[in-house]
Amino acid sequence: MWQANIFTSFPDAFPGSLGVSLIGKALKRNEWCLNIVDLKKFPAHNDRIDSYPYGGGVGMLLSPLTFEMAFNSLNSSSENERIFSENEQKFKRTQKFKRIYFSPRGRQLNQKDLADISQSAGLTVLCGRYEGVDQRILDYYKFEEVSIGDFVLLGGEVAAMAIIEGCVRLLPGIVGDQQSVQNDSFQENLLEHDQYTKPSVFKNIAVPEILLSGNHQKIRSFQNDLSKMITMKKRPDLWAKYVQDNMKLI
């Protein structure tokens, strides 16, 4: 079963949006597993999990001692024993999970990352709060710093939900029609074409006639051309990748 381990000081934020709709139903059916580790259960300094940065500066940083205790608990807490006993290999696999620390200074996450992670056994995520975390946590435990955009949030929990939702929807059987996942934006470096539903005319704007023709071959070709035009216009960087990949195929 695909598993997400999340280290957070705000466990109540979960499952949040991961508990609703298709992904929430799949969680209840044990089609994937969410393992939340509450950092606040592992205080290191006078009942605190964080401390002031050396050298001065505002804010607090997560202590490496707290993280060490929380990480080690993955193998010993009763919650985790329950999860790991389902499959004796599970903990060993956890060691191989990709480790991600969410941070505005990280590399920006993309659909290829999600596809790779969804094909692995799972993911371990560290959510920062306040000023962030002691650098030695990232260095010792080999966390990759990843960002969800050039803006600053209060914490990594929303980012964790975003990556997990993106990975779980790629697991087989989660989205009823697998074709719809394959047609989404970023597959083959193209953005999705425009889409329409009833009524066929809204505020004097008509749906493109070809979509009402019933000629599926022509419709596919129209949508494919539209995808290319939209990608060229909105994301020249993606378009360049698409052209490069398709030149390789010629």
Using the rule CB under 6 A, is 51 a contact of ligand SAM? no
Q: For residue 155, state whether it binds ligand SAM (rule: CB under 6 A).
A: yes
> Is residue 53 involved in binding ligand SAM (CB under 6 A)?
no
| Amino acid occupying residue 123 | L
Select 43 or 104, whichever has its Cβ closest to ligand SAM. 104
Q: Is 184 a catalytic residue?
A: yes
Cβ 129 to ligand SAM shortest distance, Å: 6
Q: What contacts 204, CB < 8 A, 6 or more positions away?
A: none
The correct pick among 44, 127, 138, 167 for binding ligand SAM (CB under 6 A) is 127
CB atoms within 10 A of CB 215: 12
Window 133-152: residues binding ligand SAM (CB under 6 A): 147-149, 151-152
Q: Give the range of 37-45, 68-76, 121-129, 201-209 binding ligand SAM by CB under 6 A.
A: 121-129
Closest approach, Cβ 160 to ligand SAM, in A, equals: 9
129 contributes a contact to ligand SAM by CB under 6 A: yes
For 199, other C-beta atoms within 10 Å of its C-beta total 8
Applying CB under 6 A, which residues contact ligand SAM?
Answer: 102-105, 127-129, 131-132, 147-149, 151-156, 159
Catalytic residue numbers, as ranges: 104, 131, 169, 184
